[in-house]
Structure 1
């Protein structure tokens, strides 16, 4: 009877101290992000009482004394914002050592808890890799084995697919990693998905089954026969095409037989013309007409006699002598 009374008294005392408290809420926050904590019901602070946010029930983060002058404890100065109206708390750039139990309470003759949170700070998950280990194909089905891996963990799974459906051996596979995250391998819309996640982040890698199986697909007998027929025919056509092109180029090279005319004498009445002939190989030989210099009048090789021009002078007749002159001569 004495032990039962003690236990009952302890329960009543605990209930009295935690009057008005709500259920504990777990909150996951990614490292480096901000933590926001609310008081989900109106808070009425009696006179001469103080409102507080505490962590692990030992250290104060924020105090709101009766004079309504907010006091932030030294380790949190510059990182904490507190709202006097809503009594909410904002903790910036959280780190792993910020994990813990956060409580909002009204202190006085007795503590009245108005909000409780369990805060867990997590790192974002690392990238995940989905790799195909083996593929076995037939005309009826495709069997493949894959590995989903992270930096510190991995998980394997096997899949069987036919023309209509795919099945995962053992159903969806999952595994918890050493860092507290989870690996999942599952089917979704004809794709294999490898998912790595925790409460604050996730990453995934997927492969389409149809694409993976087609990489090593085995052709049926009809396809193999078609391949053995098409490939030689294609190679033969390619060879003949190259041969025809070569012959055409060779013919073009040797058929260019053009004779240009040499200047020589020709009859002035002769008209230049062009004669085209075709040899036995089909080449056309073009011969241009002989070009001659025009014939002019021939110069004589005999030296021509040159006569001096004939000059004609006028004949002067003496005037008859007068009688006076003859008489003078006679007396002389």
Structure 2
């Protein structure tokens, strides 16, 4: 039954009979083996507390569930204003909007990726920067929608000044390589000291 004390379905074991009640008659599924109840075509008026009750000599509440009815999220709005110089350096002022949430940030191209998050209740807004794109993601418990913009297109110069960017590796890749090399050097130093100490003792 719901919190208005309206019966949704009644099941009797002997005889084995399941009876749905109006107005749920055409939008309810009840499993007589597991006793699970599924409501279909949910409306905002269906939100509330639902209780399971057994009846023998006395009525006993055996389970209680709070049900929320949530709309799918709307598509977010991603706004990017870019300021590019002739040396392929771009500064982008980014705004990501969804529901009543807003994320604003400044991003420079060829930077490593990072993420910014804002939330309100069950609504979450995520602004994700990568080397190649800017992603604004709007989500709740049941749905998500996103908008993406390509940073290469945002930072492209006018055709009259277009020159291929200098060849080379990205800043993120360079940082990863340097970190890996440093780690290998440190590990080699530790192993060398350990071996020398072992030889000295022997």
Aligned partner (choices 181, 192, 200) of residue 123 of structure 2: 181
| TM-score (structure 1 length as normaliser) | 0.42
Q: Could you state the TM-score of these two structures normalised by the residue count of structure 2?
A: 0.65
Pairs within 5 Å for 1:68-147: 68-108=16-56, 109=58, 111=60, 113=62, 115-137=63-85, 139=87, 141-147=89-95
The partner residue of 1:190 within 132, 156, 180 is 132
Q: Classify the secondary structure of the residue corresponding to 2:26.
A: coil
Distance 1:91 1:120 in 2: 12
- Residues 137 and 217, structure 1, Cα contact 8 Å, conserved in 2: no
Q: Is there any run of 5+ residues in structure 2 with no aligned partner, and where?
A: 164-202
Aligned partners of 1:160 and 1:166 also within 8 Å: no
CA distance 1:215–1:166, change in 2 (3 Å): farther
CA distance in 1, matches of 2:137, 2:159: 27
Give, in angstroms, the shift of residue 79 of structure 1.
1.7
Identify, as 1 or 2, the structure richer in strand: 2
The whole-number CA distance in structure 2 between the counterparts of 1:218 and 1:154 is 36
> Alpha-carbon deviations, 1:24-75, whole Å to 9, x = none?
xxxxxxxxxxxxxxxxxxxxxxxxxxxxxx2238332111234332222222
Structure 1 stretches lacking a partner, 5+ long: 1-53, 224-332
TM-aligned CA deviation for residue 111 of structure 1? 1.3
Contact 1:102 1:119 in 2 (8 A): yes
Q: Indicate the RMSD between aligned Cα atoms, in angstroms.
A: 3.0
